[in-house]
Amino acid sequence: MTSTGSPRRTRWFTTSGADPNADHQVFLLPHAGGTAPAYQAWAATLPSTMEVRTLQLPGRQERLAEEPYTEVEPLVDALLEAFEAELDGRPYVLLGHSFGGLLAYRLSVAAEWNGLPAPALLAVSAWAPGLEPAAELARVASMSDDELLARVAQLGLMQEGATLDPATLASIMPALRADFLAAGSLREDGEPAPCPVAAYCGTSDPIAAPAGMAAWEDHCTDFLGAAEFPGSHFYFFEHTAAVQHSLVRHLRRLTARA
């Protein structure tokens, strides 16, 4: 089942002290099952020249009553409509981790297809086109809640063997399962991102191994390389400052050569 109805600007993206004088808009797209608050600290740690807007998908927290999307194409279509309403003429950056990286990539492609400005930079963490281990995502529909949580624990998002109370489980599982299903529904078309791409990954990631990041060379107009950090699939939270530093450095260089 997929959501219906018109996306709302105030519901899809959250901001913390939006600054219309910032040079760039930065859109953060969370991992599968992720929520906007997990990334809102970026607004305080990125330079003031960057205005942060964080995606909050249906089916979680204040959007819990909304049905989450289980297919990526209608999700990107709805996301594009909400995203377009956020653009105000400033250059922008799309940054996504894991499932958020997939969405950021497809959003950049959809933006070009629909005549919107391309991102100044697409920053993708722990995801690249054609990753073979990602094929397991399509099998989520047959997994029990315990099996799905065990898989998430193996990726490092939660402690292995941890248990959740029924209320917490009921609040997070629909969105988590839906995001995995949406990721598994992606049909690769080889479409390149219409902008420079910077990739990031953990050295021991079982899904997005460092070697897999080379796929971006064939899926963008300007590949800026892949930075590796110690850790598994969720290295991202341990090395946020380093990723931010790299992001700022890339953006400054791109701005200087424009």
List, in sequence order, every residue forming a beta bridge with 15; answer none if it has no partner: 53
Within a domain: 231: yes
Domain holding 91, by residue range, is: 9-257
Within a domain: 2: no
> Pairing mode, if any, of strands 193-202 and 220-229?
parallel
- CATH code at 165? 3.40.50.1820
For the chain, strand residue ranges (E) read 13-15, 24-29, 50-55, 92-97, 121-125, 193-202, 220-229
Lowest mean pLDDT of 17-21, 25-29, 133-137, name the range: 133-137
Within a domain: 4: no
Q: How many separate domains does the chain show?
A: 1
Within a domain: 79: yes
* pLDDT tens-place string over residues 129-179: 988 655 566 676 677 878 877 777 776 665 555 555 556 667 788 898 899
* pLDDT tens-place string over residues 36-59: 988 888 888 999 899 999 999 999
Decide if pLDDT at 6 tops 60. no
What's residue 166's pLDDT? 58
Distance between CA atoms of residues 105 and 55, nearest Å: 14
Within a domain: 43: yes
Within a domain: 153: yes
Specify whether the CB–CB gap between 158 and 152 falls below 8 A. yes
**Mean pLDDT rounded to a whole number for the chain:** 87
Residue with tokens 């590796």: 228
Within a domain: 52: yes
pTM of the model: 0.90
- If you count DSSP H runs as helices and E runs as strands, how many of each does the chain have, helices first? 7, 7
